[in-house]
Amino acid sequence: MLSTILIILVIVIIVGGITYWLSSRHVSQLKTTQKPKTPSKSASSSTSVSQSPFINPTGPNQILIIGAADMEPDTLDPAICYSSSCMRVIRLTYEKLVDYNGSKIVGDLAVKWEVSKNGTVWTFWLRRGVRFHDGTPFNATAVKFSIERLLAIDKGPAWMFEDIEKVVIVGPYEVKIILKHPDPAFLEKLAAAWGLYIVSPSCVKAHATKDDPWATKWLYNHDCGSGPYILVKWLHHQYIILKAWRYYWRGWSGKHIYEVIIKEILSPETQKMELLSGEIDIMNDVPPRYYYDLKNNPQVVVKAYPSYNELYLFFNTMKFPCNLRQFRLAIAYAINRSEIVKVVLLGLGRPAYYPAPSTMPKVFHNITGPRYNIEKAIKLLDEVKSELEGKVIKLQCAYVTGDTVEERVCEMLQAFIQKLDKLTGLKIQIVPTPYTWDTLYDLVMNHPKQAPALVMLWWWPDYADPLDYYYPMFSSNGSYAFSHLKDPVLDHLLKEAYNAANSLTYMKLLKKIQERIIYDCPAAFILEQDYIVAFRRNVRGYVYNPLFIGSYNVYTMWKS
């Protein structure tokens, strides 16, 4: 009996020991192999070290410091942001349905899409497994919420999407965007620098108030995005710090930047010194005068890229003699654009011969505007000489105070017209005149008969399509219709283009619009300015896109 009890006791001890060993081994395996859960707290919430949503850099090669005069954003809310300073941050903290890879539009939060035959219904199939910085999942509800929020706030980029009639959720990862009428540039608008960025509905709702139902005050200096970086700190007029989000859906294998610092440096000279000393890694928006100095320095790489930034000289058609088409064309032919690019831009740009930049998609290069031809200018003036003879014609050339490029162009125009006067015997005088931007815009748009005869204007697009140049500047009711040209034919073509049902029809209309603008000559196309940026030599992976001036695709960049 005693021996039986002893045998049972030994068996119990052995079985108990084996069970304990197996259970403790299972717990150990769980601790080492179980993936950490996505944090449910927002980026601004305090978490323990083990719960940190950030990947902290382990050395200077994982930190990127950008020097920028325009560091200070007006807001970091993507539904309100409308400047390069806020876009530089938002591009890293939020994502869109589609984005650019170089110059090609590719899926981002959408994996594929299609448009109906009538061009009014866009269906998007969404990426699975994406989470926002507050830990909530991205899905069709977030797309619908983000669009409705953008349109309700009605600021910043909202105007590009005002023709959305409604958003229909088909399934958790399928959504239809229904337009009031076809928009052949809708995809370009979605991919634009100030495009449709997707926000976390739960994050917005958590910080909404009765007086601020869309949480715009909170999003002024926080983020509700799903991008690779989280906003950590914004010390006004000093710096902004972003850190890598540990749970970003693309992952962090390979070489990456884990911390981004955007530092305010107002002086280009100070930016240059800090770049050469290694205190910053990127000098944003390099003035042309520094390009050649930096190009010969072995510590840095400086690049001049073709941009979408074009300078125009508008003719006020409400005033004599700019109401005469032949006069406008004569001035346009008298401008030596190559000389302007050489003298003013130090060769870092191109003469402009089209109503949209030559590098812009959908511009027809065989349809060109006036090129420098003094004989043509004289011939055109001869056609209206009877209306010009015996008169001293003083034409203000208005430019924005402090814009040295515009000022120099007005001064060179003065010299070009003096040469034309000597050859024709006419008395046309160009008077360069500075204005503040607000004063000039109000004068030109609201008091055209008192406004200057000639006005300089830069244009950089909201989305990569010529219509974003043609309509605002050249339609009779455009928001920057500085010429006040009234051409019913052009207005009709522009309206038709906005409602084109397919790309073939759209391209035919764009061609006619380009021809009509060149015929009317409401403005002389002056130059296309290069965008210049300088890096420390060990910065790698930057991909330029002319739509995203002053911002960087940091996730795909690294430092060697």
Q: Give the CATH number, domain containing residue 132.
A: 3.90.76.10
* Segment 131-156, tens digit of pLDDT: 999 999 999 999 999 999 999 999 99
Residue 328 within a domain:
yes
Residue 560 within a domain:
no
In this predicted structure, the answer to whether residue 50 has a pLDDT above a threshold of 60 is: no
Residue 110 within a domain:
yes
Pairing of strands 239-245, 229-235: antiparallel
* 470 shares a domain with 323: yes
- Looking at residue 458, its pLDDT comes to 97
In this predicted structure, the answer to whether residue 119 has a pLDDT above a threshold of 50 is: yes
- From the list 175, 147, 184, 174, the residue with the least C-alpha distance to 162 is 147
In this predicted structure, the answer to whether residue 24 has a pLDDT above a threshold of 80 is: no
- Looking at residue 48, its pLDDT comes to 37
Using CA atoms, how far residue 469 sits from 226, 262, 394, 521, in Å, is: 32, 31, 29, 14
* 190 shares a domain with 319: no
- Bridge partners (DSSP) of residue 303 are 533
Vertex 102: Cα angle to 96 and 108 (nearest 5): 25
Reported as a pLDDT band with limits 50, 70 and 90, residue 13 is very low
Residue with tokens 């072995």: 298
In this predicted structure, the answer to whether residue 390 has a pLDDT above a threshold of 90 is: no
- From the list 309, 312, 313, the residue with the least C-alpha distance to 529 is 309
Is residue 289 within 8 Å of residue 404, measured between CB atoms?
A: no
* 316 shares a domain with 196: no
In this predicted structure, the answer to whether residue 274 has a pLDDT above a threshold of 80 is: yes
In three-state form (DSSP H/G/I as H, E/B as E, the rest C), the secondary structure along 456-480 is EEEECCCCCCCHHHHHHHHCCCCCC
* Segment 505-519, tens digit of pLDDT: 999 999 999 999 999
* Segment 452-483, tens digit of pLDDT: 999 999 999 999 999 999 999 999 999 999 99
DSSP string, 183-231: -TTHHHHHTSTT--B---HHHHHHT--SS-TT-HHHHTSS----SSEEE
In this predicted structure, the answer to whether residue 367 has a pLDDT above a threshold of 70 is: yes
Helix axes 488-498, 467-474, angle to 10 degrees: 140
DSSP string, 368-399: ----S-HHHHHHHHHHTHHHHTT-EEEEEEEE
The one-letter amino acid code at 431 reads: V
Residue 50 within a domain:
no
Share of the chain above pLDDT 70, in %: 91
Is residue 229 within 8 Å of residue 66, measured between CB atoms?
A: no
In this predicted structure, the answer to whether residue 311 has a pLDDT above a threshold of 70 is: yes
Using CA atoms, how far residue 213 sits from 164, 203, 217, 428, in Å, is: 21, 12, 10, 58
- Looking at residue 22, its pLDDT comes to 33
In angstroms, the CA 133 to CA 142 distance is 13
Reported as a pLDDT band with limits 50, 70 and 90, residue 37 is very low
Q: What are phi and psi of 411, to 5 degrees?
A: -65, -40
Mean pLDDT score across all residues of the chain: 91
In this predicted structure, the answer to whether residue 44 has a pLDDT above a threshold of 60 is: no
Strand, coil or helix: 487:
coil
Residue 555 within a domain:
no
In this predicted structure, the answer to whether residue 229 has a pLDDT above a threshold of 70 is: yes
* Segment 76-100, tens digit of pLDDT: 999 999 999 999 999 999 999 999 9
Residue with tokens 């207005």: 491
- From the list 437, 436, 438, 433, the residue with the least C-alpha distance to 452 is 433
- Looking at residue 401, its pLDDT comes to 97
In this predicted structure, the answer to whether residue 8 has a pLDDT above a threshold of 80 is: no
Is residue 268 within 8 Å of residue 290, measured between CB atoms?
A: yes
In angstroms, the CA 333 to CA 371 distance is 6
Residues sharing a CB contact under 8 Å with residue 339, sequence separation 6 or more, in sequence order:
412
Using CA atoms, how far residue 159 sits from 190, 195, 489, in Å, is: 12, 11, 25
Q: Looking at residue 443, which CATH number applies to its domain?
A: 3.10.105.10
The long-range contacts involving 422-427, CB below 8 angstroms and separated by at least 24 positions, are 423/374, 423/378, 424/378, 424/381, 424/382, 424/385, 425/389, 426/381, 426/385, 426/388, 426/389, 426/393, 427/391, 427/392, 427/393
Vertex 355: Cα angle to 353 and 356 (nearest 5): 100
- For 504, the enclosing helix (H) or strand (E) is helix 503-520
* 494 shares a domain with 359: yes
Reported as a pLDDT band with limits 50, 70 and 90, residue 501 is confident
In three-state form (DSSP H/G/I as H, E/B as E, the rest C), the secondary structure along 513-533 is HHHHHHHHCCEEEEEEECEEE
Q: For the residues 389-405, what does the mean pLDDT come to?
A: 95
* 456 shares a domain with 340: yes
| Domain final residue, candidates 209, 231, 251 | 209
In this predicted structure, the answer to whether residue 42 has a pLDDT above a threshold of 90 is: no
- Looking at residue 33, its pLDDT comes to 27
Q: For the residues 55-82, what does the mean pLDDT come to?
A: 96
Q: For the residues 41-58, what does the mean pLDDT come to?
A: 59
> Does residue 125 come out as left (phi exceeding 0), alpha (psi in the -120 to 50 range) or beta?
beta
Domain tally for the chain? 2
- From the list 528, 523, 525, 531, the residue with the least C-alpha distance to 549 is 531
Q: For the residues 161-174, what does the mean pLDDT come to?
A: 97
Q: What is the DSSP letter of 505?
A: H
- Please tell me the number of Cα atoms within 13 Å of 384 on its side-chain side: 18
CA-based torsion, 317, 320, 325, 329: positive or negative: negative
Q: What are phi and psi of 268, to 5 degrees?
A: -60, -35
Vertex 32: Cα angle to 27 and 34 (nearest 5): 85
Tokens of 159: 């105007």
Domain limits for position 131: 95-209
Count of residues in the chain: 560
Residue 250 within a domain:
no
Residue 8 within a domain:
no
| Domain final residue, candidates 191, 209, 227 | 209
In this predicted structure, the answer to whether residue 315 has a pLDDT above a threshold of 80 is: yes
In this predicted structure, the answer to whether residue 17 has a pLDDT above a threshold of 50 is: no
Reported as a pLDDT band with limits 50, 70 and 90, residue 52 is confident
In this predicted structure, the answer to whether residue 3 has a pLDDT above a threshold of 60 is: no
* 323 shares a domain with 188: no
- Looking at residue 51, its pLDDT comes to 61
| Domain final residue, candidates 209, 241, 260 | 209
Is residue 198 within 8 Å of residue 136, measured between CB atoms?
A: no
Q: For the residues 412-427, what does the mean pLDDT come to?
A: 94
Residue 275 within a domain:
no
